[in-house]
């Protein structure tokens, strides 16, 4: 499962369960120059241009000098040279998965870190965080423990203290650990160029290592670089065909590339289920991909298989309600979503599932009642002071507004809220949220012919993109330019700019329209097929599919 945030600026991770399956990280290699960028960086930069301290052991072994007098001896006492007590050897340095040198000498800290990383690879983020914290407690000078702690926390509740500790300790770690920690730190910066450079260094240093390949591929995936991430996931599987995590992610990536392949997506997830027969997540992921592919009945069947394994696997319970909604079985969908709300582990998840339930009003043709319920839900999110939920619900309300004037009013209100630091929301997430809001303002302004006003938002997006060098923000900027170009009749350049963000159903639909305007039926059909695999129970899909049906 990849949660509702998968196609939004903030991305949570596919749910999974840990599978003990580890191998060596590969031979120790020297740290390479971060300025030497490889092919992956050139690929990401194309998008950009478009637009521990060693553990201290108090081994104080004092040498004892002594003289012993023996009153029964008349011989002159001799001086005795002090013989130092034998110094215990330092504990051996620990190796991550038997190969990568670590700063810690603690076997317990290393074991906990390995367990945390396995949990991360299987998207068990709560378990990952718990084990990373325990590793840091066992060795408070262990840079990678803090690095992984902050890296895993970055998408939900950022761990600023752990990030600071990782930053303070990293220079004292061995070069291999340094590289991994520095990359984890860099991914949490608003400027992602160093993260791209360090990612390439990791791939050069550990070219066939499944763990490094998975980490970098997953990061690229959530930067929406699906084609490149797919290649790295496949390479991780070449290193270990029985490594489950890449199979889960490939199930999604195979339908999110430029040429969606639902057969490969289903095969990857079926293989994932074979490797983890007692885990619910393979069925949960397959249920989602089947829904994207338009097979709601098979989707519900897979979700029920997941719940048969783990009855409280709430994302599958939620998935049943969403698939039934898309199948127009609204009276069946509501009670299923109620069950999911009761299972949800946090207020944020509960609010999101409540939102999915409200969306049924729009699907069944009761928009006025739906807007009334959205207002109440947004007030609830505001009372909970959850910035992510406020963004989620607020942007949904704008998409589903009664008219363009109301939509612009709501988008303007959201812009004012997210233009300044906001509560517990990570600064990078806030800026990404702001970029998506600005892009939607451009879309609506172009729709009603106010291109000059749209240009003002474009300038703000350009400045935000240049400041952050964040690829998702860059995509928002480029796709916003695409809307302006379309509105002025430059359909060829519009299609090119819009193509930077083809995972957004509204943008993807606009690409189809651009090719239709150009009379390029072949390109329009390819784009239409790709758009069809974005099918999901979201406000964007509701708006885009409703427009396509008219």
What does the pLDDT read at residue 402?
97
Q: Name residue 77's beta-bridge partners.
A: none
Strand-pairing partners, residue 96, are 100
Instruction: Compute CA distances 259 → 264, 471, 514, 533, whole Å.
Output: 11, 21, 19, 10
Instruction: Name 95's bridge partners.
Output: 101
Q: Return the bridge partners of 101, or none.
A: 95
> What CA–CA distance (Å, rounded) separates 499 from 478?
9
Asked: is 17-54+91-254 a CATH 1.25.40 domain? The reply is: yes
**CA 15 to the chain's CA centroid:** 11
pLDDT score, position 89: 56
pLDDT at position 409: 97
Residue from 12, 10, 125 nearest 429 by CA: 10
Cβ-Cβ contacts under 8 Å for 386 (sequence gap 6 or more): 347, 348, 351, 423
Residues 151 and 189: their CA atoms lie apart, in Å, by: 11
pLDDT score recorded for residue 66: 28
Quick one: tokens of 106? 């603690």
Tell me the three state secondary structure of residue 95: strand
Q: How far is CA 450 from CA 445, 462, 479, in A?
A: 5, 19, 17
Domains 17-54+91-254 and 436-549 share a fold: yes
The whole-number pLDDT of residue 168 equals: 97
User: Could you state, in chain order, the average pLDDT of each consecutive group of 10 residues for the chain (550 residues)?
Assistant: 42 35 33 37 39 28 32 34 49 77 94 95 90 97 97 86 96 94 92 91 92 95 90 96 96 90 96 95 96 97 97 97 98 98 95 98 97 97 94 98 97 96 83 96 97 96 90 94 98 96 94 97 96 96 93
Question: Contact, 256 vs 503, CB < 8 A?
Answer: yes
Distance CA 269, CA 289 (A): 9
Q: Does 3.30.390.30 match the CATH number of domain 436-549? A: no
- What's the token pair of residue 37? 């960028």
- The full length of the chain comes to 550
Domain spans of the chain, in order of start: 17-54+91-254, 436-549
| Residue the block writes with tokens 């695999």 | 533
């Amino acid at each position: 499962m990849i949660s509702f945030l998968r196609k939004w600026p903030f991305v949570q991770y596919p749910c999974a369960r840990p599978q003990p399956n580890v191998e060596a990280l590969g031979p120790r290699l020297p740290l390479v120059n971060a300025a030497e960028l490889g092919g992956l960086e050139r690929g990401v930069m194309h998008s950009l241009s478009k637009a521990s301290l060693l553990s201290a052991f108090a081994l104080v072994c004092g040498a004892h000098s002594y003289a012993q007098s023996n009153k029964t001896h008349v011989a002159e006492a001799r001086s005795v040279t002090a013989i130092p007590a034998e110094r215990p050897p330092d504990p051996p340095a620990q190796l991550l998965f038997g190969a990568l040198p670590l700063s810690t000498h603690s076997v317990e800290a290393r074991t906990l870190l390995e367990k945390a990383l396995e949990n991360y690879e299987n998207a068990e983020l709560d378990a990952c965080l718990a084990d990373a914290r325990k590793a840091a407690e066992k060795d408070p000078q262990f840079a990678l423990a803090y690095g992984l702690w902050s890296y895993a926390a970055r998408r939900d509740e950022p761990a600023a203290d752990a990030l600071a500790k990782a930053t303070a300790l990293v220079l004292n770690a061995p070069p291999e650990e340094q590289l991994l920690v520095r990359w984890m730190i860099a991914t949490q910066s608003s400027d992602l160029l160093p993260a791209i450079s360090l990612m390439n260094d990791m791939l050069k240093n550990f070219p066939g290592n499944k763990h490094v390949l998975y980490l970098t591929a997953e990061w690229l995936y959530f930067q929406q670089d699906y084609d490149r991430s797919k290649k790295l996931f496949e390479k991780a599987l070449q290193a270990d065909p029985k490594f489950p995590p890449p199979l889960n992610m490939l199930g999604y990536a195979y339908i999110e590339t430029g040429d969606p392949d639902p057969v490969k997506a289903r095969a990857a997830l079926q293989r994932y289920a074979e490797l983890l027969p007692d885990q619910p997540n393979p069925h949960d992921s397959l249920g989602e991909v089947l829904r994207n592919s338009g097979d709601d009945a098979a989707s519900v069947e897979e979700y029920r298989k997941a719940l048969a394994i783990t009855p409280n696997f709430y994302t599958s319970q939620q998935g049943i309600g969403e698939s039934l909604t898309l199948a127009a079985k609204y009276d069946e969908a509501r009670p299923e979503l109620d069950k999911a709300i009761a299972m949800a582990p946090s207020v944020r998840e509960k609010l999101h599932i409540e939102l999915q339930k409200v969306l049924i009003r729009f699907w069944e043709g009761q928009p006025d009642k739906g807007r009334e319920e959205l207002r109440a839900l947004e007030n609830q999110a505001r009372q909970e002071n959850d910035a992510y939920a406020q963004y989620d619900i607020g942007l949904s309300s704008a998409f589903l507004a009664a008219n363009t004037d109301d939509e612009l009013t709501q988008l303007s209100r959201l812009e004012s809220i997210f233009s300044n630091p906001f509560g517990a929301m990570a600064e990078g997430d806030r800026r990404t949220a702001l970029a998506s809001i600005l892009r939607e303002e451009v879309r609506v302004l172009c729709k009603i012919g106010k291109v000059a006003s749209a240009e003002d938002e474009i300038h703000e997006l350009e400045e935000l993109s240049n400041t952050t060098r964040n690829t998702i923000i860059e995509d928002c900027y480029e796709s916003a330019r695409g809307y302006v170009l379309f509105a002025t009749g430059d359909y060829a350049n519009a299609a090119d700019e819009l193509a930077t963000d083809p995972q957004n159903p509204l943008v993807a639909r606009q690409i189809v329209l651009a090719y239709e305007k150009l009379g390029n039926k072949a390109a329009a059909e390819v784009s239409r097929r790709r758009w069809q695999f974005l099918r999901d129970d979201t406000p964007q899909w509701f708006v885009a599919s409703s427009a396509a049906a008219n």
